[in-house]
Structure 1
Amino acid sequence: MALQQAWEWERWKVMGQHAFFAIVLALSMSGALSGADMTTGAALSRIGPGVGLALWYVYWIALRGGADRPPLPYLVGALAGWAVMAVVDPAFLPVAVAVLSPYWLRRPWWSAGGVLVLGAAWSLKSFATHGSVDVRELTGCVLGTAVAVTITCYVATLDHESHKRQRLLDELTATQAERAAAERQAGTLAERQRLAREVHDTLTQGFASIAMLLDAVGEDLPPDSPAARRVGQAMRTARDNLVESRRLVHALRPAPLDRTHLADAVRELTTRLTEETGIEACTVVTGRPVALPPATEGELLRVVQEALTNARRHARPVSVSVTLSYLGDVLAIDVQDDGTGFAPAARHTGIGLITMRERIAALDGTFAVESTPGEGTTIAVTVPLPVDSPASEAPAAVSGTERLAPVS
């Protein structure tokens, strides 16, 4: 509704400007043609410049859309035409008000000054013509000038207030959009946490129970019997699915961020990787850690988590390092392993890489994968940091360039 009203105001403002130009030009031309001894040649010398000025206005202002931002060629040409018309007949002096009408709202004080100059020129013209200035003419000129200046300033004030209200409406709309986005993000995080709890309480616990039961059954069977082998296979399948369900829970709900900062949460991931697989994993933090919005830290943590999972499952590395570099206006994250590597151009991109790329793109960051067969893989991520964010109160152990030793 407010946007519709603003649009209507702009439309009526432009129409009023065009109508004002036409009325002033028509009245001035009528005054110039009102002489009793007007010949055909004299009439044409007044009608021609008037029509030319009207066509000039229509081309630059009406057709080319210069009502909001009048171009300089219009002003130069219109003032030149007005000067010719004023020389031909001083009755065309008021046309200057029409010529300046596109500038009333954009340059109100300039327009008011132009009107004052026009009033002074009218008085000088009367003095030069009659040798004196009639009191009634002078009074009318002063009153007309005052009215024109008042109207100019009033309309400019209305336009200024209209633009001010429009800016406030735009800010309100942007604030509402940000709030709606924050609410959607909060709802998404809440739903992910709910799904994580459901998966943990059902599938994860179920796989754990199945593994325990199969383990008990395996102890009652002869070690080399076919049934024991099939139970062993079922047990390995249950344990693999148990690991996958736990990974899914961690992917849905980055629990470390509920109680710590991004750097500490990444350190927990590398520590857990070392404890579970024996891979030498470490976290390095450089620069001064900066607090990021929880949603942003959650997305970054999931990207690191997916990168470590890919290294664990596919690269078979001896060591993995995660580097977080706070560089003032950006945060750079590098996940590097010394595993088997691959040729990015020759390998079909998996869903994990696609998901990581989409997460970083949503944060207005950059994502790159560097890998060579036999020489490991590096995943490089950069995301912008908030300019006015305070430094995080992370422990000193993750600041500077200290290398965090893995847990073996």
Structure 2
Amino acid sequence: MVMAQQQARERWQAALQHAFFLTVLALSVLGALAGTDMTAGAALPQVGLAVGFIAWYAYWIVLRGGADRPPLPYLIGAAVGWAAMAAVDPALLPVGLAVLAPYCLRRAGWSAAGVLVVGALWLWQRFATVGYVDVREFWGCALGMAAAVTIVGYIATLEREGHKRQRLLDELTATQAERAAAERTAGVLAERQRLAREVHDTLTQGFASIAMLLDSVRDELAPGAPAARRVDQAMRTARDNLAESRRLVHALRPAPLDDTPLTDAVRELTGRLAEETGIEAFATVTGQPAALPAGTEGELLRVVQEALTNARRHAQAASVSVTLSYLDDVLAIDIQDDGTGFTPATRHPGVGMTTMRERIASVGGVFAVESAPGEGTTVTITMPLPAVSPTGEATSGSADTSTHDAPNSATRTTSTVMAP
């Protein structure tokens, strides 16, 4: 709506400018021809120059779209044409106002200077032609120039106010768009949390109950009985679906980053992966950790979580490492596994890979995947960091390395922190 109003206002302004140009040019030519015998030969120079002037204006201002910002070639050519017309007939001096038509409605300084120059030249032309300037002619010219300057100044003021209002409307529109985006984000997060609660309270609890009941039934059956084998199969299926529902809950509702740093949340993910699958998992942090916006850290955590899930489901990996490198101005995250790998150029990207790429792009980062058959897969994320850490100190210093062991023996989490 605002854009349509702006475009309509610009169209009306351009139409008014063109009408002003044609009116000034027509009145100037008619005024010059009024003092001639109106024969075709006498009128041909004035009319021919006027037609050429109209063609020049139409090309540069109408066709080339120079109504708002007149190009320099137009001004040079129009000034030359005006000088030629004034040389042919000094009565065509007011055509100078037509030359300034693209400026009169938008630039008060240019238009006022042009009016004063045209008025002074007209007085000079009258003095050079007649030998004197009548008092009434002088005051009439002075009053006309004052009126013209006042009018163009008023129009220019309206133009500035219009631009100011337009800027305010643009700022208001941008603010409303940001608020709507924030509300949508909040709504999405709230819906994800609601779905996580529903899945946890229904499917997860249901699979857990089924696994417990099947375990009780298996204890009551004779070992090696056909029914016992079917119960074991059903129990494995229930437990697999229980683990899958838990992963879904974690995917919908990641670790709370409001109270947990990104580095600790990544350690929890690698620890959980090792505990549930036996895969050897490493989480390494180098450099001085710098705080990022909560939304950015949340997206980074979800991408790391998705990459670990892919390594768990598809890579058949024995080892997975996550490295968070806090450099001077960027955070580099590498998720590397020693699994089967694939050829990125020949493999159609799945929904998970596309979603990860979109998440990183939405927060201004760079996402890349390197893989080859039999050589594992490396997911690389590069995210700009603030120039100064939250404590106001530069991110430099000596290295301080500490190692944390996860509860499972297959998990080893290494943290390398640059001391300030």
Relative to the length of structure 1, the TM-score reads: 0.89
Partner of 1:353: 353
Verify the 8 A CA contact 2:319 2:337 in the aligned structure 1.
yes
Deviation for aligned residue 1:327? 4.4
Deviation for aligned residue 1:139? 1.3
Tell me if 1:371 matches 2:371: yes
Partner of 2:307: 307
Q: Distance in 2 between matches of 1:238 and 1:19?
A: 81
Q: Which runs of 5+ in 2 are unaligned?
A: 410-420
Deviation for aligned residue 1:315? 3.0
**Aligned-pair RMSD on alpha carbons?**
2.7
Partner of 1:391: 390
Deviations 1:126-181 (A, max 9, x none): 22223333222221222111222222221111111111111111111111111111
The 1:59–1:390 alpha-carbon spacing in structure 2 relative to 1, beyond 3 Å, is same
Verify the 8 A CA contact 2:36 2:42 in the aligned structure 1.
no
Verify the 8 A CA contact 1:321 1:336 in the aligned structure 2.
yes
Deviation for aligned residue 1:41? 2.6
Greater displacement, 263-272 / 245-254: 263-272
The one-letter code matched in structure 2 to 1:131 is G
Q: Secondary structure at the match of 1:284?
A: strand
The 1:279–1:209 alpha-carbon spacing in structure 2 relative to 1, beyond 3 Å, is same
Q: Distance in 2 between matches of 1:323 and 1:264?
A: 12
Deviation for aligned residue 1:364? 4.4
Report the identity percentage. Answer: 70
Q: Which runs of 5+ in 1 are unaligned?
A: none
Q: Secondary structure at the match of 2:256?
A: helix
Verify the 8 A CA contact 1:280 1:406 in the aligned structure 2.
no
The 1:44–1:305 alpha-carbon spacing in structure 2 relative to 1, beyond 3 Å, is same
Deviation for aligned residue 1:316? 3.7
Q: Distance in 2 between matches of 1:128 and 1:215?
A: 117
Tell me if 1:234 matches 2:234: yes
Partner of 2:111: 111
Q: Distance in 1 between matches of 2:112 and 2:312?
A: 75
Deviations 1:46-87 (A, max 9, x none): 222122212222232223322122222221221111111111
The 1:60–1:345 alpha-carbon spacing in structure 2 relative to 1, beyond 3 Å, is closer
Partner of 1:134: 134
Verify the 8 A CA contact 2:274 2:280 in the aligned structure 1.
yes
Deviation for aligned residue 1:95? 0.7
The one-letter code matched in structure 2 to 1:99 is V
Verify the 8 A CA contact 2:328 2:387 in the aligned structure 1.
no
The 1:138–1:14 alpha-carbon spacing in structure 2 relative to 1, beyond 3 Å, is same
Partner of 1:223: 223
Verify the 8 A CA contact 1:29 1:50 in the aligned structure 2.
yes
Partner of 2:163: 163
Q: How do residues 8-87 of structure 1 correspond to structure 2 at under 5 angstroms? A: 8-35=8-35, 37=37, 40-87=40-87
Partner of 1:190: 190
The one-letter code matched in structure 2 to 1:171 is E
Greater displacement, 46-55 / 193-202: 46-55
Verify the 8 A CA contact 1:106 1:156 in the aligned structure 2.
yes
Deviation for aligned residue 1:106? 4.2
Verify the 8 A CA contact 2:17 2:105 in the aligned structure 1.
no
Verify the 8 A CA contact 1:337 1:378 in the aligned structure 2.
yes
The 1:190–1:37 alpha-carbon spacing in structure 2 relative to 1, beyond 3 Å, is closer
The 1:138–1:346 alpha-carbon spacing in structure 2 relative to 1, beyond 3 Å, is closer
Deviations 1:321-353 (A, max 9, x none): 212234455433210122333333455544432
Number of positions where the alignment pairs a residue of Structure 1 with one of Structure 2: 403
The 1:68–1:201 alpha-carbon spacing in structure 2 relative to 1, beyond 3 Å, is same
Q: Distance in 2 between matches of 1:216 and 1:128?
A: 120
Deviation for aligned residue 1:256? 3.3
Q: Distance in 2 between matches of 1:6 and 1:341?
A: 54
The one-letter code matched in structure 1 to 2:34 is S
Q: Distance in 1 between matches of 2:38 and 2:342?
A: 94
